[in-house]
Amino acid sequence: MAAAGRLATATGVYLGSVNLGSAGIFFYDKKCAEARQWRIPEATLCATALAGGWLGGMWAMQQFKHKTAKKSFQQKYNAAVAANIGGAALVASLPKARGQLLFSMKRLLRRLLGITCWSSCLERGERHFKGAGDQHECCRSGHSDSPQHFRSHRRWQEKATSPRYFGTYVCQAAATEAAPSAGLQNTIPGPRNVIQVLRERGLLQDTAGEGLEEAVIKGRVGDPSGRSLERPVLSEAEIDHNVAGIRSNIESFLQPEAGSTPLVINNLDWLGGMSFLDFLRDVGRFSRVNVMLSRDSVKTRLGREEGISFTEFTYQLLQGYDFLHLNQQHGVQLQIGGSDQMGNILTGLDLIRRSSSQDAAPCFGLCFPLLTRTDGTKMGKSAEGAVWLSPDKLSPFKFYQYLLGSVPDTDVIKFLRMLTFLPLTEIEEMEKAMQGGQYQPNSAQRRLAEEVTRMVHGETGLQQALKATQALAPGKQTQLDAAALEAIAEDAPTASLPRDQVVGAGLADIIATTGMQPSKAAARRMIKGGGVRINNEKVSEETQCVTEDDLIEGRLLLLATGKKNKLVLRIN
């Protein structure tokens, strides 16, 4: 009887410690959702709970090894049994508490099964959206093309709120933010195609079968994240122009699917009629200044001499209220953004939590890493400016050339994983070839440029870029069209001549007139030596004249003297 009592007491102390540890994990999750300030790894909490239970059990066994009075032992035994029975009765009497405890215990067991896998994933710098069981299955799946594998090996996820629950709920609607100052910009990959990527790869799961709705919001106040100075104030006309451009680009990425149409809206619709007092009542009273000051975007600016204006300081509240409004009016549960948007998204989640009932559908935030080079600079920020997605601002040829010529070998494998849907085995083969010395220079960059240009500008845009690239290559012969020549004109010298000075005129005269050669005699010598081409076709006759048939679409010519000296001639 004494041995059984000792064993029962030790077991009770052990289970009680584990239960307290599980409840602590649940409390940790809840506080994280409220304050977003704790950063204790869950594996550490689980290990602490187990260690506490083990130490408690060992302590109890050690205590009862000593000979004690029967009355003292009976008192201790009764107290332990009463504590466990009382705790069980309390939990059983409260459905919410019972559910919380069961949920905590299930999660504890799930974490115990996945601790090893979780640690190995952290060592590789990878994170996953789902729980430990999913992570373990993901790692065992090797190089499969499952959504879990895509999330990790493509290096797309930077941060996710409540990553353990993300995959267990239906993300019935998703939202992404687009700032007006970005205009048509949105550098690669940009928020516009993020939802498309998620949907295509199964990362947004329409388990209800009702279709996914995407809401893209455009605001009038710029985000201070990643900026050292305040954004310039745009006029109403500039904002409207940018809104129209963003809408056009978004609709080209988010093609309507059955039962769902992308919703592009302007937050002026609900913020424009809100008074300052209404904003303080509905948003300000739920916001804590100490939390707002802790955001990286604010702390960085406060450390500078210029400081931060009240307008940009309150940007996080505006974006947070956008999330709240879309959640209440459109059922949006997921907000997507770059990793620098995490603080703004958390503000929205906090507003939703404080303003919604406890049985409301869960909401999430998902952040993707910013595309940075090895030196830490952002991809898409060059000396010439940003990389535009709109063909009106940046031709497919220039877009292709940027990817082909500005991505070094140290970054190209990373960008192939993140920006393309190429099989990972193919990307790994390229990586091995680069490391083994069997690599053809720029072949990986060429594949990256082709895949991303096709994604942004379609097959037509890619073919236009390839034609223009081939036409500019020394000695290349390719079928030219006006679109290819117009693209070439952005990089090659251009000239304009009246039609009567071109059609019927000698080629040597035109070459001298446009300045490609210093004189007609020099032009004739170049023709005689076989160094002159018209529309990539070699000219052999010194007296050859230009005809209407030589004009591309009746208005363009491509002249070349030597391998690299080319000129696009426009006929007025």
Full-model pTM: 0.57
**Same domain, yes or no: 267 and 299:** yes
- Domain ends where: 445, 472, 499? 472
Residue 383: burial class (beta carbons within 10 Å; 0-12, 13-18, 19+): exposed
Q: Looking at the domain assignment, is residue 146 inside a domain? A: no
Q: What is the CATH number of the domain that holds 560?
A: 3.10.290.10
Residues 339 and 218 placed together within one structural domain of the fold? yes
Residue 559's domain spans which residues? Answer: 484-571
Are 246 and 348 in a shared domain?
yes
Is 333 within the bounds of a domain? yes
Of all helices (H) and strands (E), which one includes residue 471? Answer: helix 443-472
Answer whether residue 462 is part of any domain: yes
CB 215 within 8 A of CB 173: yes
Quote the percentage of the chain above a pLDDT of 70: 52
Together in a domain, 163 and 248: yes
- HSE at residue 274, side-chain half, CA atoms within 13 A, is 18
At residue 193, the 3 state secondary structure works out as coil
Tell me, yes or no, whether 463 and 558 share the same domain: no
Tokens representing 4 are: 């059984």
Q: In this predicted model, what pLDDT tens digit does every residue of 104-145 receive, in sequence order?
A: 555 555 444 443 333 333 333 333 333 333 333 333 333 344
Tokens standing for residue 509: 């005269």
* Residue 263 φ then ψ, to 5°: -105, 115
Per the domain annotation, does 374 fall within a domain? no
Q: Give the integer Cα–Cα distance in Å for 66 and 494.
A: 99
CA distance 427 to 450: 14
Say whether both 493 and 528 belong to one domain. Answer: yes
Q: Walk along the chain (572 residues) and give the pLDDT tens digit of each residue.
A: 566 666 666 566 555 555 555 555 445 444 444 443 444 454 555 555 556 555 655 565 555 555 444 445 555 555 555 555 555 555 455 554 555 555 555 555 544 444 333 333 333 333 333 333 333 333 333 334 444 554 555 555 545 555 544 443 434 455 555 554 444 344 444 444 455 555 554 444 443 344 445 555 555 555 555 554 555 566 777 777 777 777 776 666 655 554 456 677 777 788 888 888 988 888 888 888 888 888 777 887 787 777 778 877 888 888 888 888 888 888 888 888 777 788 888 888 888 888 877 777 888 887 777 777 776 666 655 444 567 777 777 788 888 888 888 888 888 898 898 888 888 889 988 988 888 877 888 889 999 999 989 988 889 889 888 888 877 776 566 667 777 777 777 767 888 888 888 888 888 888 888 888 888 888 888 888 888 888 888 888 888 888 888 888 888 888 888 877 888 888 88
259 and 398 inside one domain: no
Question: Is residue 454 a part of any domain in this protein?
Answer: yes
Q: Please check whether residues 339 and 453 belong to one and the same domain.
A: no
Mean of the per-residue pLDDT values of the chain: 68
- CATH number for the domain spanning 386: value is 1.10.240.10
Give me the torsion for CA of 114, 119, 120, 121, rounded to 10°: 80
Asked if 100 and 23 touch (Cβ cutoff 8 Å), the reply is yes
- Do 181 and 308 belong to one domain? yes
- Whether 128 is covered by a domain: the verdict is no
In the chain, the number of structural domains is 4
User: Is 256 within 8 Å of 262 (Cβ atoms)?
Assistant: yes
Q: Of 337, 368, 399, which one is at a domain's C-terminal end?
A: 368
The amino acid at residue 514 is: T
Report how far apart, in Å, the C-alpha atoms of 497 and of each of 500, 527, 534, 545, 568 are.
Answer: 8, 21, 16, 15, 11
Of 472, 503, 523, which residue constitutes the final position of a domain? Answer: 472
One domain for residues 271 and 419: no
* Per-residue pLDDT tens over the stretch 173-192: 555 555 544 443 444 444 44
Q: Does residue 506 sit in the same domain as residue 456?
A: no
What is the C-alpha to C-alpha distance for residues 321 and 301, in angstroms, rounded to an integer? Answer: 23
Is 222 in the same domain as 296? yes
CB 337 within 8 A of CB 345: yes
Q: What are the residues whose beta carbons fall under 8 Å from the beta carbon of 418, sequence distance 6 or more?
A: 154, 155, 156, 189, 369, 371
Indicate which CATH number applies to the domain containing 255.
Answer: 3.40.50.620
Q: Examine residue 214 and state whether it is found in any structural domain, yes or no.
A: yes
